[in-house]
Chains A and B, each alone.
Chain A
């Protein structure tokens, strides 16, 4: 009996004009997301390659590693970020790494192309979050109330059809009829993605499959909510209106409101405050150092080379001590801010998770490696690279200039000096997260979506037991 109701739903939906029009629109958008994602990825790869070459070019001609005081590193585009942008376009992709000290992040995609920040990109996550949830509502709003209005509910239940079977068949049939066909444009999109030269590792394929799985869970959640609302309302127009309100709240209002509420509830010191404190402390340290520098007197005053070396060593120690103090101070401030931000995020996301749209966004961006963790991950790897870079320069020059001023005395016979080989410079390779890293972050949100389906199915089932079939 269940199979019969499922088959009926499949046939009823798949042969409707509404399905053909909606499916064609969704398919087109999904394919567009893959094509535009692939094109954007290729553009980003070319941009990063050019920036890397330009960075090395600027070092070419130098004859002393002492002159290489910093190296620019770049966050390479990630294939999955082309489909689930997350925060990838909001964070600084370029970092100027010195031998020590804080690493400034700059050059966000939206900073470079602000017009895109206005409406954001049409990525796969957007299609799922906005378009497919509407697609689910359009088909679910009259699932029960529409059958009542059409009169088919009465005729169906004049037969020995259990209400639970009808409800389970409705949900399963609608899901199969709507979700499975959507896999077709997604599969074509994947093929187009590969064909356009976006390389995906087996791990990334796996993560993409899970993103699509999370999307289907989200779609299922809205479908179940839709069927539930349809089962508690007598008229499909009422059901549609209620669902539209739920959709607006879920997709547009709750995530934004949650952030506003958390912003009010948890105070996070602004970057300006922190930078001002850092600046004042740096001024204080410089003042102390100037006193120490004015008191400097070389032990050996006859040999200028030894004098310079002694001064270099003195300055190195002064710089090291200042940078250490500055690092400690900055770390403390940054940690305080990061802790406050964590609390704020926890509050914001805790509230926002009422909405299935938030759960899907968090799960998808975690799986794509473009969640809020991207910035921390990039920064942590940049810090790791900073140590490698510092060791390399120290090995080459004997000092870690840390981007500071270098005193250098050249004593030579005037012969042409050999330029440095920039290829020796340690290369920064961003290591994107793998499935094992992202799964723990994505599973709770996927779990909430699954729980949402079960919860609303339970409500729909309970509501339909008392539904007036007349």
Chain B
């Protein structure tokens, strides 16, 4: 397997027009077959990082790279290699799950999918078959989340960006999601997951990064964290950087 970083932030900084420094010289790399959990509180810079990888905003300094492609230089090529699942997946409410899945698969410039392929992708996420042909309008957040993951599966991109994917999911759905995430990792996908959920991060991540006020304050592999209480580590880093350390 090629071990070059699939998702890479190199000295990534972002200062908004109002002067707020949202991201300050952040560097990390996610390799194929790796899940990188980016922990942090609100305003830590997690979503800004994701937005930079999707080229929704441009960096003030540094580069965000997908498969070596600098996202703000060639955004279309970069986006062809990345799948994205947001915290609250919003799809076209007048379309059925199948129709949404087909549309976003084709929007990703993938060949027109067969109905069976769409069905299998939805089943893999755990979305019951009777929901496949229902309009999204009546779907719960968990069901929409499953559709979002199915879109990522259908896109079959080597890099996956997950923005608070387990937020608001019930424990069962959260458990299913982590299992799915692991299977995607085993297929060789590089996954960058921003989350508040320390428990899920510990469960699924190969590397954990903690962000605070736009800075990556800690980065350790799961092996390094094996004997440690991640919650305590997290609190130490957040508190320390907020000037609350004892």
- Count A-B contacts at CB 8 Å: 71
* Chain A stretch 318-333: residues in CB contact (< 8 A) with chain B: none
Select which of B76, B80, B90, B94 is within 8 A of A155 by beta carbon.
B90
Bound CA–CA A152/B76 (angstroms): 18
Which of A7-15, A59-67, A131-139 contacts the other chain?
A7-15
Bound CA–CA A151/B85 (angstroms): 11
Judge whether A12 and B104 touch: CB under 8 Å: no
Which of B1-9, B106-114, B117-125, B190-198 contacts the other chain?
B106-114
Judge whether A159 and B57 touch: CB under 8 Å: no
Judge whether A159 and B104 touch: CB under 8 Å: yes
A contacts with B, residue count (CB < 8 A): 22
B87: nearest chain-A partner, CB-CB: A151
| CB of B219 within 8 Å of the partner chain | no
| CB of B175 within 8 Å of the partner chain | no
Judge whether B77 and A15 touch: CB under 8 Å: no
Chain B residues with Cβ below 8 Å from A470 are 51, 56-57
B103: nearest chain-A partner, CB-CB: A8
| CB of B156 within 8 Å of the partner chain | no
| CB of B237 within 8 Å of the partner chain | no
Instruction: Report A157-185 CB contacts with B as 1/0, cut-off 8 Å.
Output: 11111100000000000000000000000
Judge whether A152 and B107 touch: CB under 8 Å: no
Judge whether A159 and B107 touch: CB under 8 Å: yes
B contacts with A, residue count (CB < 8 A): 32
Judge whether A158 and B95 touch: CB under 8 Å: no
| CB of A257 within 8 Å of the partner chain | no
Select which of A12, A15, A151, A469 is within 8 A of B86 by beta carbon.
A151
| CB of B61 within 8 Å of the partner chain | no
With known contacts A11-B99, A12-B92, A155–B104 Cβ distance under 8 A: yes
Bound CA–CA A26/B116 (angstroms): 40
| CB of B153 within 8 Å of the partner chain | no
Bound CA–CA A154/B109 (angstroms): 17
Q: Is the interface of A mostly helix, strand, loop or mixed?
A: loop
Bound CA–CA A152/B86 (angstroms): 10
Judge whether A154 and B80 touch: CB under 8 Å: no
| CB of B82 within 8 Å of the partner chain | yes
Bound CA–CA A12/B94 (angstroms): 6
* Chain A stretch 1-41: residues in CB contact (< 8 A) with chain B: 1, 4, 8, 11-12, 15-16
Bound CA–CA A342/B151 (angstroms): 64
Select which of A11, A156, A468 is within 8 A of B94 by beta carbon.
A11
| CB of B89 within 8 Å of the partner chain | yes
Question: Which A residues contact B (CB, under 8 angstroms)?
Answer: 1, 4, 8, 11-12, 15-16, 150-152, 154-162, 468-470
**For the complex of A and B, 7 pairs with smallest distance between CB atoms:** A151-B90, A158-B84, A160-B76, A15-B94, A160-B80, A160-B79, A159-B107
Question: Which B residues contact A (CB, under 8 angstroms)?
Answer: 51, 54, 56-57, 75-77, 79-80, 82-84, 86, 88-95, 99, 103-104, 106-109, 148, 151, 155, 161
Q: A1-B109, A154-B56, A157-B79 given. 16 additional CB < 8 A pairs?
A: A4-B107, A8-B92, A8-B103, A11-B94, A12-B95, A15-B95, A151-B86, A155-B151, A156-B107, A159-B79, A159-B104, A159-B155, A160-B79, A160-B109, A161-B76, A468-B56
